[in-house]
Amino acid sequence: MPDVRIEGGVIRVGAQRVPLIAGEVHYWRLNPARWPHVLAAARRLGLRMLATYVPWEYHELAPGRFDFHGTSEPPRDLVGFLELLQHEGFWIFIRPGPYIYAEWPNAGVPDRVVTLPRLGAAYRREAAVWMRAVTDVLRPYLATRGGRIVLWQPDNEMDLFSHWFEDPCGLSGRQAGFFQEFLRSAYGDVAALNAAWGTACARLEDAQPLAERPNAFDAGALTRHKDYWRFQHWGTAEALRWHADEYRALGVDVPLVANFYPGGDVQNWREVAKVVDLCGIDWYPQNEFGAGPGPAPTGGEHRRFLDTCRYQRAFSPLPHLAEFECGVWHGFHDYVGVLTPNHYRLTAFSALLAGVQGFNWYMLAERDNWYYCPINARGDPRPELAEVFMGIHRVVQACDPPTLTKLTQTAVVLEPVHIGTDRIMADNPVLDALYAADIDHEIYDPELGARSAGLMLYASADWLPRAAQERLVHWIADGGTLVVFQGRFPQRDEHFRPYNGLGVAPPDRILSRLGKQVSVAIGAHAGIAEGAVWVWDDPPGTPLVGTQVAGRQQAVENADKWMTSCIGRQWPCGYVEPRGCGRLVVLGLPPSPSLLRALHRGLGFPLYAQAELSGVQTAVFERAGEYFLFAVNMNNADVRTRVALDGVPVGTGLVVLDLWTEQRESQAADALTILVPRRSGGAWCVRSA
C-alpha cells in the first residue's frame, strides 16, 4: 500500500501528487439522497478533494454506543458517504474531532463532556472512547490502506478556553491546576520562578499569572503576563499532542493537520507545528475585507490577512487555509455582510499573492444556518457564484502554486509570542508601511530562520529572548542586512531586563515630531518620512542624513516663514554599520512607504513588482523561466495600472497571458499594464517574447 506524506507543497500518495484544494461538505446536514448531486456539483466546480467533520454528539446514541451506518437516522450513514466519495474518486480530508465546533450544540461533544477541560484526565477518558470508535470506522478508508483519506485533523482549533475553565487551569486563585504544571516545566522550581517574576511565592502552586499588563515598567509583572500567554501556547500544544498521539496509536498513518485562529495569540503557530505534520489557518473576513469607499491607508483586515497567510510559509511544509471562508454562519453574517462573487475572487487571489499553496473552502455546500455557498442543499450550483469558483480553480490549476518560487529578498522579523503579548499582528507600523508601499515579503521567525531573505526589517516588540537576538547578530555577520527603525528594535530580554543584543547606539537627541517631514538619502535614492527624528552626532557607521523638506502646516494662521525657514536643515538621523559580512541599518525615523522603497533601491535589493497606482498589491513568482504576477485591487473602481518589474530577468518584449480571461497580448517590459476589477484580483503569466 502507498505511503502518504507532505512533500513539495502537496500531498504525495505513493508517487501520485495530490494538491490540497478542497471543499467542506457536511454529510450529516444534508439529505443522503442529495449527496450524489452535491458531489457532481463539486466536480463541476473543479474540486477533487472534499473535507468533512464527523460529529461525536450526533453519532453517539448512548455513551459508548454509536451509529455510523444510518440505522437510526439516514444522515448518520458515515460509511455510506465514505463509500460514495471513494466510488466517485474524491480524495478525503477527514476531521473527526472530538471537538468540531461547526455551529453544532456543545461544539460537537456530548453534554457530559463539554464541561471537562481538554487537559484533564476525565475528558481524555471520554474522548478516547470516541476516538477509538470513529477510527475503527475510518481506518479502512485511509489512503495507506487503499482508501481515499489523505489528511486527518485531530480535534479543531485547539483552545483551552481557560477563561471558562479558570479553576482547573489554576488561574482563579482557588486551586492549583494546569498553569502551575506549565510553570514547573518552564522553571523547574519556585526559586527560579521568583527570580523571574520578582515574587516571593512559597510554592509553585501559589503562583498566579497576569492576563493583562498591570504595569508596563515592572519587569516581573511583564514576565508574569508573558507567562500567561506562554501557558496558552503550552496548553494548546500539550492538548493537541495528546490527541495526535492517541490517533497515531490507533493506526492513523496519514498526515495530521492542525487548524487555528487567524489572531495567532492563543495558539503559537510555531509550537503547534512541532506536534503535527502541517498547520493551516482559518479565515472569515468581512465582505471585500470591510473596506470603505477608498483603499484603507494601512490595509486593515486585508493587510492582516496577507501577513498571517505569509506567516504560514515560515513553519508549514504546505502553507494553506484549513478553513477558507465560503459562506458564513447565522449571526456572524451581520458582521461579515453579504458575501459576493467578487469577494471570493478577491480573497482567493489575495491568498495566492501571499504565497498560500492550498485551501479548503468552508462551507462548499449550504446547510442549516449557513449562507452564501456556491452549492445549495439540493446539490445545485448557484449561478451567481459557480462561475467565479470555476474561474478560481482553473487559475489555480494553471498556476500550480506549490511549483512556484516567490521572488522576494525581503523578510520581516516577527516573534509569534509577541502576537499575544504586544499585539504586533494587529498594530504594526512596519507591516502597514510595507502594505502601503506594495512590497511583498516573507516572515522570519527568530527561532526558525528565513527562507531566502537578504534584507530583513525588524517588526516585532521591543523585547526578544537573548538567544533570538544572538541569532539575528549571527545572521547579519553571515551577510544579511537588518533594518531597525526608531525605538522598534530589541532593547530587553525575555525577562524584560535591559539587553540591546544588536548594539544599536542610543541617539544623542530626539527632535519633536511637529512639522518634521524629512527626506533621507540612501545611496542614490531618497525616501520621505514624517514624525519625531532621532539624531546621532557621531554615529557608529556611515551616517544617513535627513533633510527637512516642506512639512505640514500646523495651523492656517501660522506664518509660512516659520516652516519655510527650516527647509534644508539637516541631521544625521541614521547610520549603516558594517557587521562581519553584513550590515546593520538604523533609521531614527518612523517607517513609511517612501522610505521603504528607498531602502530597497539604495541598499541594492529589488522590489520585483510595483504597481503604479495605490491600493493595488502585487507579487511575482517564477517557474521554469515563466513569471506569474498576482495582483489585487482594493480600490472601489476598476483600475488599469502599470506594474514595474524590478529584478525580474525578462527581455524588452513580453508575452502576457491573463489567466482569468485567457487573453494573450504582447507588451513592452517597461510598460507592463494590467486591468484589475474593483475589489478583486487576478493572475498573469509573463514571459519574454
Residue 596 and residue 654 in one domain: no
The 10 Å Cβ neighbour count of residue 211 is 16
Pairing type for strands 410-413 and 442-444 reads: parallel
**What pLDDT, on the 0 to 100 scale, is given for residue 451?**
63
Q: Is the pLDDT of residue 54 over 90?
A: yes
Mean pLDDT in residue range 428-439:
97
**What pLDDT, on the 0 to 100 scale, is given for residue 368?**
86
Question: Final residue of a domain: which of 539, 573, 605?
Answer: 605
Mean pLDDT in residue range 291-312:
83
Residue 584 and residue 492 in one domain: yes
**What pLDDT, on the 0 to 100 scale, is given for residue 552?**
65
Looking at the domain assignment, is residue 678 inside a domain?
yes
Mean pLDDT in residue range 364-384:
94
E strand or H helix at 44: helix 35-44
**CA–CA gap between residue 66 and residue 78 (Å, rounded):** 11
Residue 601 and residue 622 in one domain: no
> In this predicted model, what pLDDT tens digit does every residue of 178-229 receive, in sequence order?
999 999 999 999 999 999 999 999 999 999 999 998 888 899 999 999 999 9
**What pLDDT, on the 0 to 100 scale, is given for residue 666?**
97
The 10 Å Cβ neighbour count of residue 274 is 12
Mean pLDDT in residue range 612-625:
96
Q: Is the pLDDT of residue 115 over 60?
A: yes
**What pLDDT, on the 0 to 100 scale, is given for residue 558?**
60
**What pLDDT, on the 0 to 100 scale, is given for residue 562?**
77
**What pLDDT, on the 0 to 100 scale, is given for residue 150?**
98
**What pLDDT, on the 0 to 100 scale, is given for residue 46?**
97
**CA–CA gap between residue 391 and residue 347 (Å, rounded):** 13
**What pLDDT, on the 0 to 100 scale, is given for residue 515?**
85
What CATH code is carried by the domain that includes residue 618?
2.60.40.1180
**CA–CA gap between residue 272 and residue 473 (Å, rounded):** 27
**What pLDDT, on the 0 to 100 scale, is given for residue 297?**
61
**Phi, psi at 452, each rounded to 5°:** -150, 30
**61 Cβ partners below 8 Å, 6+ apart?**
67, 72
Domain count, the chain: 4
Looking at the domain assignment, is residue 181 inside a domain?
yes
Pairing type for strands 653-658 and 663-668 reads: antiparallel
Looking at the domain assignment, is residue 254 inside a domain?
no
> In this predicted model, what pLDDT tens digit does every residue of 85-101 receive, in sequence order?
999 999 999 999 999 99
Please state, rounded to an integer, the average pLDDT across all residues of the chain: 95
Residue 477 and residue 596 in one domain: yes
Residue 579 and residue 598 in one domain: yes
Mean pLDDT in residue range 338-364:
97
Q: Please name the amino acid found at residue 249.
A: A
Mean pLDDT in residue range 239-267:
96
DSSP state of 507: P
Mean pLDDT in residue range 439-456:
87
- The residues pairing with 620 across neighbouring beta strands, listed in sequence order, are 629
DSSP state of 178: H
- The residues pairing with 572 across neighbouring beta strands, listed in sequence order, are 545
- Written as nine digits, the cell of 689 is 517574447
Residue 599 and residue 619 in one domain: no
What CATH code is carried by the domain that includes residue 512?
3.40.50.880
**CA–CA gap between residue 70 and residue 32 (Å, rounded):** 10
Q: Is 340 exposed, middle or buried (0-12, 13-18, 19+ CB in 10 A)?
A: middle
Question: What is the domain extent for residue 646?
Answer: 611-688
Q: Which has more pLDDT, 390 or 367? A: 390
**What pLDDT, on the 0 to 100 scale, is given for residue 370?**
93
Unique residue bearing C-alpha cell 544623542: 508
Looking at the domain assignment, is residue 45 inside a domain?
yes
Mean pLDDT in residue range 46-60:
98
Q: Is the pLDDT of residue 296 over 70?
A: no
pLDDT band at 264 (very low <50, low <70, confident <90, very high): confident
Write out the DSSP string of 628-655: EEEEEE-SSS-EEEEEEEES----SEEE
Residue 511 and residue 579 in one domain: yes
**CA–CA gap between residue 434 and residue 413 (Å, rounded):** 13
Residue 593 and residue 617 in one domain: no
Looking at the domain assignment, is residue 360 inside a domain?
no
Residue 61 and residue 179 in one domain: no
Longest dimension (CA), the chain: 88
> In this predicted model, what pLDDT tens digit does every residue of 500-532 receive, in sequence order?
999 999 999 999 998 899 999 999 999 999 999
Residue 457 and residue 567 in one domain: yes
Looking at the domain assignment, is residue 393 inside a domain?
no
**Predicted structure pTM score:** 0.96
Residue 642 and residue 497 in one domain: no
**CA–CA gap between residue 596 and residue 603 (Å, rounded):** 11
Residue 145 and residue 182 in one domain: no
Question: Final residue of a domain: which of 545, 571, 605?
Answer: 605
**CA–CA gap between residue 134 and residue 78 (Å, rounded):** 10
Q: Is the pLDDT of residue 40 over 60?
A: yes
Q: Is the pLDDT of residue 142 over 70?
A: yes
Pairing type for strands 455-458 and 653-658 reads: unpaired
Looking at the domain assignment, is residue 183 inside a domain?
yes
∠ CA 682-686-687, nearest 5°, is 170
> In this predicted model, what pLDDT tens digit does every residue of 644-683 receive, in sequence order?
999 999 999 999 999 999 999 999 999 999 999 999 999 9
Looking at the domain assignment, is residue 396 inside a domain?
no
Question: Final residue of a domain: which of 183, 204, 230?
Answer: 230
